[in-house]
Structure 1
Amino acid sequence: MKPFDFALRKLLIGGLAAVLACSGAQAWAQSTLQKVKDAKELKIGVAQGDPWYFRDPGTGTWTGLGMMIGGEIAKDLNVKLTPVETTYGNSVAALQSGQIDVMFVLDATDERKKAIDFPTTPLLWYAQGVLTKDSLVARNWADLDKADVRLGVALGTATDRDLTKRLPQAKIERFTNTDETIAAFMSGRVDGIAFYHPALVIAYSKIHKGKVQIPQPVVALPTSAGIRRESDPAFRTFLDGEFDRLYKSGKTQELYAQYLKTKGLDAAQLPGVTKELLER
């Protein structure tokens, strides 16, 4: 190849790369809110984790509170809702790459905040709770902090770390995962199990044993929704407004109650997903 031809080819390739880079930058410069409106589609991340997301093994259909909230927001945007299967561990990458537009019920941890953005308004609240045998009363954490109380937790979870500090006298039994922890409770190996209360409610719906309790003082935490970090705050601002409207109108709790009903549960008899209901 002649030097002139090589130089010309290099120039053309460089120019093409610049054009592609520019068009890519323009595509990413479009805000998520505008992108959703233009595509008439809201893509939300879904990951197995009842009651937030649940896929029916027979039909493959996704349900859950996260799906129901997504449906309300998609309706307000006049777009269709599209679930995109992911995992909680992969959700940040899915947001960054544009595979999904939002993932509801994703905690705004310090680590995640380094990579993605979150609305400032809480989506809902959940609390540290226990599912115990009927005879074990847990009005206060002190009721559980006794040497003869055996509590099961999933190893290495936030609940494990919290109860290890909170209940130094109790016997904390650690299991590999949630299913093993529930099995230990069903067999009577432990007197109760501890998780955030919505997971306990779902566990109760499956085994119909014991009672879900929120000990005082309530350890309540807000959860949010992960979104892609971008210079235009339009999508974050929109979600802030939506979360505030759904929460204050009682719609968030109403949707939760509707979903629990599909599990054969009466939400009026169980802890809710608003801070006010948890603390009363």
Structure 2
Amino acid sequence: MNILSRFAAVRRGLLLGLVGLGLLAGMPAQAQTLEKVKKSGELRIGVAPGDPWYYRDPATGQWTGVGVLMGEQIAKNIGVKMVPVETTWANSVAGLQSGQFDVMFVLDATEERKRAIDFPAAPMLWYAQGVLAKDGLTVKNWSDLDKPTVRVGVALGTATDRDLTKRLPNAKIERFTNTDETVAAFNAGRVDAIGFYHSVLTIAYSKIKKGSVQIPQPVVAIATSAGVRKEQDPAFRDMLDEQFKKLYASGQTQALYAQYLKTKGLDPDKMPGVTKESLEK
């Protein structure tokens, strides 16, 4: 390439750069989530089947659940309305990144997810590794299950499967394809107890009304949060952080959970709660 050709190429590059800068300058900056929520008057929350967090009534098509109740409460607190946007758990991160919805409640802040989306610092609520044990089987400690004569059902490949395999080396671990099959095995008396997170076991109990949900010692408690899109301005994330703190400290988080359990015909006073303090009693 001769000198004139090089000069022409540089000139074209400079012109294209200036045009690009002009176009960028003419484009409005992408509105941040909190600004959009207030302007639209809507807080869009991602919802995906997963009782007790999200449940779609087959008769009415309406969504409810603890996540929905939390969304409604926070929307009310900031003066907007809550709008559910159906998604899947697998699509939750992509949905937040693309702006399909503003927030998804009850999303654990794993290290992998934190690389892609943001989370409030304060936990939304807590759940614990628990068991649904047959009538007459008291499980105060995990060691009460760690016997060759005790059959414990788990869903294959889950975190509970991995945890209880290590925690209960002497128990007979029975593995099933999914949670529904695990519950069915318990209901049929093929296992003495099933392990999973206590909130899910509570819903299972509401359907079969058999056994009791127990949190063995030492308690394995896990905090869950809410996923939001990463943004230069953290105002939306920080707003949720403050809301979580206030709702938790005031007892409203537990009250929302209790409210939902009542719709399942359960007495919330007889069921483990969703605060760390109540789980560790």
User: Which amino acid letter does the alignment assign opposite residue 95 of structure 2?
Assistant: A
Q: Deviations over 1:55-77 (max 9, x none)?
A: 00111100001000000110112
Q: Distance in 1 between matches of 2:160 and 2:107?
A: 17
Q: TM-score, normalised by structure 2?
A: 0.91
SS in 2 for 1:78: coil
Q: Which runs of 4+ in 1 moved over 2 A?
A: 14-24
User: Which amino acid letter does the alignment assign opposite residue 27 of structure 2?
Assistant: S
Q: State the Cα distance separating 1:23 from its structure 2 match.
A: 2.8
Q: Percent of pairs identical after alignment?
A: 69
Residue number in structure 1 paired with 2:66: 65
Residue number in structure 2 paired with 1:108: 109
Q: Deviations over 1:251-278 (max 9, x none)?
A: 0001111110000000000100000111
User: Which amino acid letter does the alignment assign opposite residue 257 of structure 1?
Assistant: A
SS in 2 for 1:105: strand
Q: Distance in 1 between matches of 2:191 and 2:70?
A: 35
Q: Deviations over 1:126-156 (max 9, x none)?
A: 0000001012110000000111111111111
SS in 2 for 1:168: coil
Q: State the Cα distance separating 1:118 from its structure 2 match.
A: 0.4
Residue number in structure 1 paired with 2:160: 159
Q: Deviations over 1:186-218 (max 9, x none)?
A: 111111111100000000000000111100111
Q: Which residues of 2 match residues 1-280 of structure 1 at below 5 A?
A: 15=19, 19=23, 23=27, 26-27=29-30, 30-280=31-281
SS in 1 for 2:27: helix
> Unmatched 5+ residue regions in structure 2?
1-11
Q: TM-score, normalised by structure 1?
A: 0.92
Task: Determine which structure has more spread, i.e. the larger CA radius of gyration.
Answer: 2
Q: State the Cα distance separating 1:231 from its structure 2 match.
A: 1.4
- Report the number of matched residues: 267
Q: Distance in 2 between matches of 1:76 and 1:183?
A: 41
Q: State the Cα distance separating 1:19 from its structure 2 match.
A: 2.9
SS in 1 for 2:146: coil
Q: Deviations over 1:74-116 (max 9, x none)?
A: 0112111110011111000000000010000000011111100
